[in-house]
Structure 1
């Protein structure tokens, strides 16, 4: 029996891709949606096109500084999007991973492994596991966007979520499509794909280890005062034992006892207020209730704690209480709000993700009479011991950054340039990364003023990164990179004053990434920053 060759792709008939680079410049690119990523990249390279992934629904997969001269030697750019599906198609467990199409899943129950095409979401994969293995089986890729982000995009960006685990923590193998035969990468070679944004090729499929988690999902919201750094640090240090995730063998049960905290995240009060203005019930009503909790507690942040447990949310709350102080790490629970499995958790997630979603949306939309907004978000993951002093040192660096941005906003008030700051993100001691998104709006014609404000914010951001590097070193912690993989490493190196000033672990990762990118086909690495395409000097 022979397999028919895939039909030739008529590139001249493809539509245009609606894409822009980091600076908002439109790309001159074609869009190709395919269920066979290996064949799509092979034909695109053979036809002389530069190739970039798109549609992974992660925030960095399509970003780069677009210059037409960088693709002058190619027939053009083809943006390839994995074809998705409403539900995953389950194929025979013996199907080789390199033969999976973008919407297919192969389940190896005996070995605790699940393989999936690049166009599926982790919600879809977990639905297959729930049906075929059991309701508590899941892949521990812990993105808050598991219902939208594609497998290919998550692996390519190295995206992390509340657990602060890179995909490679549970990743067994990846299929890389770089214009030739499919390449199956495993072990240390996963570093040649994960977090490299498609600069070495496109992710066609991935195989993950899956695990069994406790049956009940819960959420707990505690109002806290962001300016009280010591109180926030004390809370995080206290919660650290419950945030440790001990991975068993593939297919096994998490060994953390009755309760596992899989996330401690931040939502600022002002972000919540914006969410209430735009949200629909029931999320709107619940969010209004959380705003009241902030008001009663005199708080400007919400610490959103999520996890799995054998117990009800009320019992979880009791188990987290310090019996001597009747607080959770010094935080009074009088105004805390609990959410349990099902519709309540869906509402909770809508609120928790509403703030960053609205901030990102505002940064993309051009208001009438104003120029396209400029935006930047912090992304430095800092892991520190369960020590309140070390955590407070990290949080103080963010407080200084917020103060610097707000001071600049006041100085520019009434000038036609407005600055908004939205804070949200991760507070787990294993990865403190509370994203601070700054968005600048300027009236038309104020290009020079916008550029000056942008440079001022970037200078403050570089100071923040240097402060975080110093705080981690002082507190016995480490900076582990960021959620955007290699782009995060590049940003840290630039802020530190050069690669030689980075921590040794990050220098090693940067060097390995550079070696992979610089040796990749130019059809893919054309988007990479200069630091990744040439030998270190």
Structure 2
């Protein structure tokens, strides 16, 4: 029996709670659906502009645009994939083009899993554990692995502690842009990954999966962030364990010996303090223990190391330790803390991700008697060689930026506060420690807020220029950022134009421009001016 598609009444849709990058509310309607291709086709046929959206917390990458940019359309529709508590497994011969947002198709012999756009990677890996084996997983290791949708991860080009873009293990992506859904493979993936939905909307994605060592672990080492040489020495020392050597075939065992470090993350002591004030036990008590470790070690940051191993966490600690110095890359382990698989790792993740989550949440909430906070975060991903000098130069640029922000905060004046929260990635294959600056101002302090905002943005542009120089001088490679193409645009703007970008980034931006130019205006209306 043929089921007739439901005709969507766009005029009856509720308003989407979205804002553009400038903080301006977006006049868009919200449509949640399990059939993205049909919804997009109806929207385009009705002359609606389409904004793919996920968690509805923001419209990252939408950029500021004038109302006349959508003047020729009937309106803007924010289309969100419908998620599910329990994904539906379908036959292995189901084509990716036919998947609904909550469906999964596993081809075990091929080592691939096709997933609908409305699923999370926690759900994807749980399905692999149930139907392939507990050690099988897709290597998209996001910090938001339990909440970010597959479609949004591909569209943003998001990376987690592994510092691997989705395309590293992507076989194919199905895209809807108004016509029949299209299957993209190979070099075609560039036209959708990291493009924020400017060229179409992800319907489903096909990933290769691999087997990883069975035990998950975490190690926390207190470090002094101002001692960039010491932190750089630690990262250079850990580099051999952070190489993720993919096997030659899908479904094979991940290479790199019996221990693989899949992330080195940073959490500042300030962020840990903020987390403790709002967290609940048992995470709160464990975080207090980590704070005490910082105090004992006279440290202002935590280096959070995660990985998979055949060994117990205690054995991993000793396998990483240099027997001559009894340190890990020069860092004393006396005040280190270990976490093992299961509930302990869940607590570890709650602490590691609680700090940045609180910083982002606080930046979105307007306090009583104050203006809406202004916030900006750094996002420049750098792959560095195992050279402590090259890594130290990168970390020095961040230390200088932190010092600048603190100086701005001290000069802020009455009724103004400047907060800095540092967290994120220190893997040598993806150094990208996010530094979020938030400014809070009393009502009526518009001019002072604008002055502080410009000072921070000037400092951020200086940081990006310093990072580019440090990378070029030290043999490192800037690979972009976690926001995909918007990160490239921001880097280009800071450098004074894309002609100043490193060659590979300039070529990626050129390919992005071609993809936007070929996309329907129903999607490309949101793209930045540099790409239109």
59 and 222 in structure 1: CA distance in 2 versus 1, 3 angstrom threshold: farther
Say yes or no: does 1:381 pair with 2:381: yes
Aligned residue in 1 for 2:368: 368
* Number of residue equivalences: 531
> Using the alignment, how far apart are the partners of 1:518 and 1:273 within structure 2?
47
Question: 3-state DSSP class of the match of 1:38?
Answer: helix
Residues 445-486 of structure 1: CA distance to partner in whole angstroms, max 9, x if unpaired?
111111111111111000000000000000011111000000
Aligned residue in 2 for 1:179: 178
Question: 3-state DSSP class of the match of 1:237?
Answer: helix
Aligned residue in 2 for 1:316: 316
Alignment of 1:454-473 (within 5 A): 454-473=453-472
Task: Please list every run of 5 or more consecutive structure 2 residues that lacks an aligned counterpart in the other structure.
Answer: none
> Using the alignment, how far apart are the partners of 1:433 and 1:55 within structure 2?
24
> Using the alignment, how far apart are the partners of 2:473 and 2:9 within structure 1?
58
Aligned residue in 2 for 1:353: 353
Alignment of 1:483-502 (within 5 A): 483-502=482-501
CA shift, 1:61, in A, is 4.5
Contact 1:268-1:424 at 8 Å conserved across structures: yes
Question: 3-state DSSP class of the match of 2:332?
Answer: coil
514 and 89 in structure 1: CA distance in 2 versus 1, 3 angstrom threshold: same
> Using the alignment, how far apart are the partners of 2:177 and 2:508 within structure 1?
21
Question: 3-state DSSP class of the match of 2:478?
Answer: strand
Aligned residue in 2 for 1:217: 216
> Using the alignment, how far apart are the partners of 1:250 and 1:188 within structure 2?
19
Residues 173-208 of structure 1: CA distance to partner in whole angstroms, max 9, x if unpaired?
000000111010000000000000000000010000
Deviation >6 Å, runs of 4+ = none
> Using the alignment, how far apart are the partners of 2:60 and 2:168 within structure 1?
20
Aligned residue in 2 for 1:78: 77
Contact 2:322-2:328 at 8 Å conserved across structures: yes
> Using the alignment, how far apart are the partners of 2:423 and 2:197 within structure 1?
27
481 and 88 in structure 1: CA distance in 2 versus 1, 3 angstrom threshold: same
> Using the alignment, how far apart are the partners of 1:430 and 1:5 within structure 2?
50
- Structure-1-length-normalised TM-score: 0.98
CA shift, 1:497, in A, is 1.0
Residues 64-105 of structure 1: CA distance to partner in whole angstroms, max 9, x if unpaired?
214211111101100000000001100001000000000000
> Using the alignment, how far apart are the partners of 1:279 and 1:139 within structure 2?
30
Aligned residue in 1 for 2:329: 329
> Using the alignment, how far apart are the partners of 1:180 and 1:11 within structure 2?
19
61 and 23 in structure 1: CA distance in 2 versus 1, 3 angstrom threshold: closer
CA shift, 1:21, in A, is 1.0
> Using the alignment, how far apart are the partners of 1:140 and 1:57 within structure 2?
25
Say yes or no: does 1:227 pair with 2:226: yes
Residues 21-49 of structure 1: CA distance to partner in whole angstroms, max 9, x if unpaired?
11221111100000000000000011110
Contact 1:58-1:149 at 8 Å conserved across structures: no
Aligned residue in 2 for 1:403: 403
> Using the alignment, how far apart are the partners of 1:158 and 1:83 within structure 2?
20
Contact 1:85-1:120 at 8 Å conserved across structures: yes
Say yes or no: does 1:199 pair with 2:198: yes
Aligned residue in 1 for 2:125: 126
CA shift, 1:60, in A, is 5.8
Task: Please list every run of 5 or more consecutive structure 1 residues that lacks an aligned counterpart in the other structure.
Answer: none
> Using the alignment, how far apart are the partners of 2:55 and 2:203 within structure 1?
12
Question: 3-state DSSP class of the match of 2:241?
Answer: helix
Aligned residue in 1 for 2:189: 190
Aligned residue in 2 for 1:106: 105
> Using the alignment, how far apart are the partners of 1:421 and 1:110 within structure 2?
49
Aligned residue in 1 for 2:33: 34
CA shift, 1:3, in A, is 3.4
Aligned residue in 2 for 1:142: 141
Contact 2:199-2:523 at 8 Å conserved across structures: yes
> Using the alignment, how far apart are the partners of 1:59 and 1:461 within structure 2?
22
417 and 267 in structure 1: CA distance in 2 versus 1, 3 angstrom threshold: same
Question: 3-state DSSP class of the match of 1:250?
Answer: coil
Compute the RMSD of aligned alpha carbons.
1.0
350 and 52 in structure 1: CA distance in 2 versus 1, 3 angstrom threshold: same
Aligned residue in 1 for 2:278: 278
CA shift, 1:13, in A, is 1.2
Residues 368-412 of structure 1: CA distance to partner in whole angstroms, max 9, x if unpaired?
110000000000001111000000000000001001111011011
Question: 3-state DSSP class of the match of 2:399?
Answer: helix
Aligned residue in 1 for 2:513: 514
